[in-house]
Amino acid sequence: MPGDEVDSLPPRQQADRRAKHRNLARRAWLFLLHSREASIAIAAILLIIYFWSTAPAFLSLGNVANLAEYAATTAIIAAGEVLVIICAEVDLSAGMVYALAPFVMYFAHEAGVPYVFAILLALIAAAIVGVINGFITVVLEIPSFITTLGTLFMINGFTLTISNGYPVQPQGTPLVTNLFGGNAISQISWAIGVTLVLQFVLVKTRWGLHTIATGGNPLGAAEVGIKTGRIKMGNFILCSVLGGLAGVLDAFRISSIDPLAGGTDIMFMAIASSVIGGTLLTGGSGTIIGAFLGAAVLGILKNGFTLSGVSAFTFDMILGAAILITMVINVRLSQLRAAGREV
């Protein structure tokens, strides 16, 4: 600002320092404006402080473990949803794969397959669902909303049929149980691992780049030679496998496999986490760390309200409002970003 200098003529050092401060504040503002993860992280921290001040038990070891368990599996599915959503598609069936995969594992184990391989079979079954979703969407050109709505019901029916509608109890060895989600540390480690690996894939690898290109400009991406169908197929498979993995992890944690577990509930939570975390449903843009934080925020809200005695009904109202508010802020922020072209 040349005008400032002429008016006050401060000593040079002071001016420098002030400029630096202004620069820092400006940078902080730009960071908030540009980093979609920052705003959701701040929201998470504020919520933690709020619930901790109203109910100190909120940060007790037991409750934090509870919270981590709840958020972890949602975050794992959300990571897959983000990749599919960036392709401008959606996977509504992931929650049903969550219910199916542990049954595949259970029956394989009952048939004499060791647990590690039984889990592998469960993930392969999940991958097959991904292939079906991808094939119908990419090759038969049915919108993924419809494709996965169809497979959602089909898989649910299939799971109910093979289970006869009854829950079963997996009898994992302590090692397998602890490794595959039997406790909070294992669960959250899986979630953090999946998040970090896939965030890396998204921002630093060719697969991530082509995923963004596929959703950002489908025609353009195809014109430069990107096999957009293959990219979509891969991400559908990945999303399904993560749905299956989340189901297996929860099966060992709860030590019960319920054909009615997960379903549309966990699927919508995962998509809500993605959206709250800053992933655009229109495709071309998203963040997996954001989705992880989104899942954490949803977990904190649910857990915090439960602790402070707010009913589940109220929670749903707040969840809905949270999604709407985040979307409005998201749209405003992207308008701001677009307006600040030269920054």
Partner 1 sequence: MSEEVLRTEHVSKSFGRVTALRDASIRLAKGEVLGLLGDNGAGKSTLMKILTGFHKPDSGKLYFQGNEISLRSVSHARSLGIEPVYQDLALINELSVYRNMFLQREIMYGGILRILDDGAMRERARDYLNQMGVNIPSVDVEISKLSGGQRQAIAVARSVYANAKILLLDEPTAAMGARESAIILDLIRRLKEKGEVSIIIVAHNYAHIFDVCDRVNLLQKGEITFDRSTKETSVEELMNLVLHELRSARQSVRLAGR
Nearer to partner 1, 226 or 276 (CB): 226
Asked whether position 335 contacts partner 1 by CB under 8 A, the answer is no
The Cα-based distances of 337 to 36, 209, 286 in angstroms read 11, 21, 15
Assigned token pair, 203: 């921002």
Q: Segment near partner 1 (CB under 8 A), from 109-117, 130-138, 208-216, 315-323? A: 208-216
Asked whether position 341 contacts partner 1 by CB under 8 A, the answer is yes
In angstroms, rounded to a whole number, what is the distance separating the alpha carbons of residues 81 and 133?
Answer: 13
Q: Segment near partner 1 (CB under 8 A), from 10-18, 158-166, 223-231, 325-333? A: 223-231
CA angle, 88 as apex, 156 and 297 as ends, to 5°?
Answer: 70
Asked whether position 315 contacts partner 1 by CB under 8 A, the answer is no
What is the CB neighbour count within 10 angstroms for residue 124? Answer: 13
Asked whether position 209 contacts partner 1 by CB under 8 A, the answer is yes
Asked whether position 193 contacts partner 1 by CB under 8 A, the answer is no
- Dihedrals φ, ψ of 239, to 5°? -60, -45
- Tell me which of 207, 268, 305, 315 binds partner 1, using CB under 8 A: 207
Q: Which of 110, 115, 118, 126 is nearest to 177 (CA)?
A: 115
- Contacts for 136 with CB less than 8 Å, ≥ 6 apart: 142, 147, 150, 151
Asked whether position 223 contacts partner 1 by CB under 8 A, the answer is yes
In angstroms, rounded to a whole number, what is the distance separating the alpha carbons of residues 240 and 92?
Answer: 10
Q: Segment near partner 1 (CB under 8 A), from 47-55, 132-140, 200-208, 322-330? A: 200-208
Asked whether position 213 contacts partner 1 by CB under 8 A, the answer is yes
Please state whether 110 falls in left (phi above 0), alpha (psi between -120 and 50) or beta. alpha
- Tell me which of 48, 126, 132, 212 binds partner 1, using CB under 8 A: 212
Asked whether position 225 contacts partner 1 by CB under 8 A, the answer is yes
Show the binding pattern over residues 271-290: x = contacts partner 1 (CB under 8 A), - = does not.
Answer: -------------xx-----
Q: Which of 297, 244, 248, 291 is nearest to 271 (CA)?
A: 291
Minimum gap (Å) between residue 287 Cβ and partner 1: 12
Q: Which chain residues interact with partner 1 by CB under 8 A?
A: 204-207, 209-210, 212-213, 216-217, 219-221, 223-226, 284-285, 338, 341-342
